[in-house]
């Protein structure tokens, strides 16, 4: 019993950052719609691990998505769970930012030039954000719970290092495609190979207004 106690004591003394980790590496391939594709390349893909532990190093605020020239900037924002995101209006007209995402719906109402309102993102997931006045305005807030995410290089290759060993769900996503999930086992000192194929959805930029109705004019 004494030996066991000593062994546990030693284990606890090793900082988390020094414990052996593994990595995932692989590629993401895009299947574009034949006409009117809105995807530029694999660099737009986001690869992340849904349920790995938070070992620190997540992006820190303040977080903002600006409304300018009837568009959201940036159009994709990565935040940690619990983040507050400001939505400043830099246009000389009114916008009405909202989301109908299950578990993350909000409606900031109508506000004008120089004003901002904020939304809090308490749940992990991918939250589409729209404007109730201008249907072409589309952004996504991606709420992550750990620092294990990356974007592929131009050739689609990606690598995520330093992952605590375990069984997880790896996800590849980009705007206008459905997320693709794969179970992955990360082993200490090893690289696990993963390949994702993402399919662009035809007409994926289209959406309903905050009342669930089609916009009068697209």
Give the strand pairing for 191-199 and 22-31. Answer: parallel
133 binds Cu ion (CB under 5 A): yes
71 binds Cu ion (CB under 5 A): no
135 binds Cu ion (CB under 5 A): no
The size of the interface with Cu ion (CB under 5 A), counted in residues, is 4
The piece of 16-24, 49-57, 90-98, 153-161 that touches Cu ion (CB under 5 A) is: 90-98
**Between residues 101 and 133, which has the closer beta carbon with respect to Cu ion?**
133
Nearest to 132 by CA among 155, 108, 159, 148: 108
Assign 202 to helix, strand or coil: coil
Distance CA 89, CA 68 (A): 7
Distance CA 80, CA 123 (A): 9
**Choice from 21, 80, 134, 152 touching Cu ion (CB under 5 A):** 134
Closest distance of CB 89 from Cu ion, Å: 8
Residue of closest CB approach to Cu ion: 131
Closest distance of CB 130 from Cu ion, Å: 9
- 145 CB-near residues (< 8 Å, 6+ apart): 50, 51, 52, 54, 80, 81, 124
Distance CA 47, CA 44 (A): 10
**Between residues 58 and 133, which has the closer beta carbon with respect to Cu ion?**
133
Instruction: List interacting residues with Cu ion (CB under 5 A).
Output: 95, 131, 133-134
């Amino acid at each position: 019993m004494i030996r066991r106690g000593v062994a546990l004591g030693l284990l606890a003394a090793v900082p988390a950052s020094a414990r052996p980790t593994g990595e995932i590496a692989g590629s993401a391939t895009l299947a574009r719609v034949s006409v009117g594709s809105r995807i530029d390349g694999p660099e737009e893909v986001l690869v992340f691990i849904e349920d790995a532990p938070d070992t620190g190093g997540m992006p820190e605020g303040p977080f903002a998505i600006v409304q300018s020239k009837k568009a959201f900037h940036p159009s994709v924002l990565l935040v940690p769970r619990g983040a507050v995101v400001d939505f400043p209006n830099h246009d000389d007209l009114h916008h009405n930012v909202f989301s109908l995402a299950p578990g993350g719906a909000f409606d900031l109402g109508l506000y004008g030039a120089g004003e901002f309102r904020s939304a809090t993102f308490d749940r992990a997931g991918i939250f589409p954000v729209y404007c109730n006045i201008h249907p072409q305005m589309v952004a996504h807030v991606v709420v992550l719970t750990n620092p294990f995410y990356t974007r592929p290089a131009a050739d689609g290759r990606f690598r995520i290092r330093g992952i605590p060993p375990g069984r997880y769900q790896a996800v590849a996503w980009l705007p206008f495609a459905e997320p693709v999930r794969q179970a992955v086992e990360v082993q200490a000192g090893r690289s696990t190979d993963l390949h994702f194929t993402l399919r662009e959805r035809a007409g994926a930029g289209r959406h309903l207004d905050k009342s669930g109705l089609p916009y009068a004019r697209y």
